[in-house]
Amino acid sequence: MSLMTQQEADELVTKGLENAAVRALYDEVNASSPIISVPDEGHCWGSITRPGETEIFVAPTAFPAESLYHELLHAQMKIGGYRQYDQYVQTAASFPLNVLGDALDNELQHHRFFSKFTDAGFDPARFYHDGDGESYEHVRRDIESMDPAGTSAATYFLRYLTVLSPGGHGSDAEREALKQFFFERVPNEKMDAVEAAAADVLAFGESDELDPGETIVNVARRLGGFHGWWVGKSQNFPDDGVFTGDAFTMADAAAFAKRQGR
């Protein structure tokens, strides 16, 4: 059930559009991909840009201009050619690549357009949702609860994205303290993999590349545990995607699914 009504969502969008930078970007996106705003069922704003429209999910916020601008930047990037990898084929039991891929899709876009957010005059602390101020403490508690020997590098990396993410409520000192907390808690070989994967994310953010397929697979390979996957930007297997390891066929995937009882 939605936390707000359509009228309340429309009122927040209208309030956000009072900002000149937001209005300009809204008009730009809307001209290429007509915008629909709807109440979100959770606590965070979000958006989907598909052929013919952009749907923005609106949640309660004290900062409608920043929240709307953030989602418009996502839409602008996709309209500009950024390719989303959201198709997955699997032939072996392993850490779910879709979980990593979904997180990277969001993170890579953030690193690319964060400077546009601040260039528009917005406070970096408001780059994310209103409850972002608690994220560092949540990550600390998660790390403290994990068994270092039994926790995968990928699991640690997903938490490390909080350190890596641009902007947010945490100060530079708090970010550095959280980073050091990882080094104290995470086994060296896993932290090395996490840092190598983080470097790939930062490199993509500094590049002009709009196809993140290579970066996604490089991150997966550095972290390990993602054997037997294909990830694609369409359902055109295998041409529109990348394998995490050796190539396989759809027959191989069907055989795996049968073994798993699917």
**Domain span at 22:** 6-79
Q: How far is CA 255 from CA 94, 243, 250, 258, in A?
A: 16, 17, 9, 5
Q: Is the same domain home to 125 and 141?
A: yes
Give tens-digit pLDDT for 170-210.
899 999 999 999 999 999 999 999 999 999 999 999 999 99
Report the C-alpha gap between 67 and 76 in whole angstroms: 14
pLDDT in tens, 14-58: 999 999 999 999 999 999 999 999 999 888 999 999 999 999 999
Identify whether residues 147 and 243 lie together within a single domain: yes
pLDDT computed for residue 65 by the predictor: 98
Rounded to the nearest 10 degrees, the angle between the axes of helix 97-119 and helix 64-79 is 110
Domain final position from 38, 61, 79: 79
What is residue 1's predicted lDDT score, i.e. its pLDDT?
Answer: 47
In a domain, 38, yes or no: yes
Same-domain status, 189 and 71:
no
Beta carbons within 8 Å of 122's beta carbon, 6+ residues apart: 65, 66, 69
Is 74 part of a structural domain of the chain?
A: yes
Average pLDDT over residues 252-260: 94
* Residue type at 203 in one-letter notation: A
Domain-terminating residue out of 56, 79, 102: 79
Question: Does any domain span residue 200?
Answer: yes
Tokens describing residue 206: 């500094």
For residue 3, is pLDDT > 80? no
CB 96 within 8 A of CB 244: no
**Is 203 inside a domain boundary?**
yes
The reply to whether 121 falls in a domain is yes
> Do 134 and 49 share a structural domain?
no
Do 75 and 92 lie in one domain? The reply is no
Select from 32, 56, 79 the last residue of a domain: 79
Place of tokens 């546009």: 116
Count the residues in the chain. Answer: 262
One domain for residues 75 and 128: no
Which of 19, 9, 24 lies closest to 65, judged by CA?
19
Tens-digit pLDDT profile for residues 124-147: 999 998 877 789 999 999 999 999
Residue 203 and residue 118 share a domain: yes
Judge whether 37 lies within some domain: yes
| Residue 244 and residue 225 in contact, taking contact as beta carbons nearer than 8 Å | no
Q: Are residues 132 and 215 in the same domain?
A: yes
Looking at residue 2, what is its pLDDT? Answer: 55
Q: What is the mean pLDDT of the chain?
A: 95
The fraction of the chain above a pLDDT of 90, given in percent, is: 91
- Are 30 and 112 contained in the same domain? no
Same-domain check for residues 109 and 127: yes
Contacts 24+ apart (CB under 8 A), 143-149: 143/181, 143/182, 143/185, 143/186, 144/185, 146/185, 148/185, 148/186, 148/187, 148/190, 149/187
Same domain, 251 and 123: yes
In a domain, 1, yes or no: no
Helices 172-185 and 153-164: angle between axes, nearest 10 degrees: 170
Would the CA dihedral through 24, 25, 30, 35 be positive or negative?
negative
Whether residues 140 and 29 share a domain: the answer is no
pLDDT digits (tens, 9 = 90+) for 63-109: 999 999 999 999 999 999 999 999 999 999 989 999 999 999 999 99
Round to whole Å and give the CA distance between 219 and 204.
11
Count how many domains the chain has: 2
First to last CA, the chain: 30
Residue 243 in domain: yes
